[in-house]
A and B are shown apart, each in its own frame.
Chain A
Amino acid sequence: ELKVEQNPLFLSMQEGKNYTIYCNYSTTSDRLYWYRQDPGKSLESLFVLLSNGAVKQEGRLMASLDTKARLSTLHITAAVHDLSATYFCAVDGSGTYKYIFGTGTRLKVLA
């Protein structure tokens, strides 16, 4: 059974600091997705990582994928309050339509 684990589950950080969210998954998968969810709102796609070694960056967020380690990271650089949200990673179920989502990391950036 494919499992996706994120850590930490909760993260409170000061503005200007750097931090990394980790996403581990249990079986082989070629693609990994990162989503953001603001309170009371739906999920918004951030990144699609397509292959081993893939790195994508958007503003203060950078995501990477290591398929051999079955690990993706979402790195936050010089955090700002607007990044406060819940971040989910998701892995496709190896040739199926199913996504398996992590439990999410709730990020709070303090001014």
Chain B
Amino acid sequence: DVKVTQSSRYLVKRTGEKVFLECVQDMDHENMFWYRQDPGLGLRLIYFSYDVKMKEKGDIPEGYSVSREKKERFSLILESASTNQTSMYLCASSISGVQETQYFGPGTRLLVL
């Protein structure tokens, strides 16, 4: 079974803090994705990566950056957290190719005060 893990299930941070969300997958997938999920808005893609050290902006990259130094790990960074970044963050991975099923991690619920 594909396993995608995220470093924290719940996180509380203060405005202005730098926040790191970590995602690790154990199936040697090439593609990794970060989404945020908000009520009434579904899932929105923040960034994705199709290879080590490669990254592409999704639909809402503002205020976020990512890092992929190793194939299995994809980090989402909030450079200076703001209250409007309070959300559920979901990581996903898939094998190489543009039309493959994505497998999701359990999510990190982030609260920015």
Chain A residues with a Cβ under 8 A of chain B: 4, 9, 30-31, 33, 35, 41-45, 48, 88, 90, 92, 95-99, 101-104
Residues of chain B contacted by A4 (CB below 8 angstroms): 42
From B40, B42, B50, B102, residue with most partner A Cβ within 10 Å: B42
Given A43-B90, A104-B42, is A96 in contact with B105 using a C-beta cutoff of 8 Å? no
Nearest B residue to A35, CB-CB: B104
Task: Please give the distance in Å from B95's CB to the nearest CB on chain A.
Answer: 12
Task: Spell out B's residues near A (CB within 8 Å).
Answer: 31, 33, 35, 40-45, 48, 50, 56, 58-59, 90, 92, 98-99, 101-107
Chain A residue with the shortest CB-CB distance to B9:
A40
Do residues A88 and B98 form an inter-chain contact, with CB atoms below 8 A? Answer: no
Contact A97 B105 (CB under 8 A): no
* A33-B101 contact, Cβ under 8 Å, with A42-B106, A99-B45: yes
List the A side residues contacting B31 at CB < 8 Å.
Answer: 97
CB distance from A38 to the nearest CB of B (A): 11
CA distance A95 to B100 in the complex (A): 11
Closest to A104 in B: B42
| B102–A101 touching, CB < 8 Å | no
Assess the A48–B104 pair: CB atoms within 8 A. no
Whose C-beta in chain A lies nearest to the C-beta of B2? A45
Whether the pair B99, A30 counts as a contact (CB closer than 8 A) is: yes
Report the minimal beta-carbon distance from B111 to chain A, rounded to whole angstroms: 15
Alpha-carbon distance between A98 and B56 when the two chains are bound, in angstroms: 10
Name 15 A/B residue pairs within 8 A (Cβ), A-sorted. A30-B99, A35-B104, A42-B90, A42-B104, A42-B107, A88-B43, A97-B31, A98-B45, A98-B48, A98-B59, A99-B45, A99-B102, A101-B42, A103-B42, A104-B42
A103-B41, A103-B42 known; A95+B98 contact, CB < 8 A: yes
Contacts A42-B90, A97-B50 given: A31-B99 contact, CB under 8 Å? yes
Which B residues touch A95, using CB under 8 A? 98
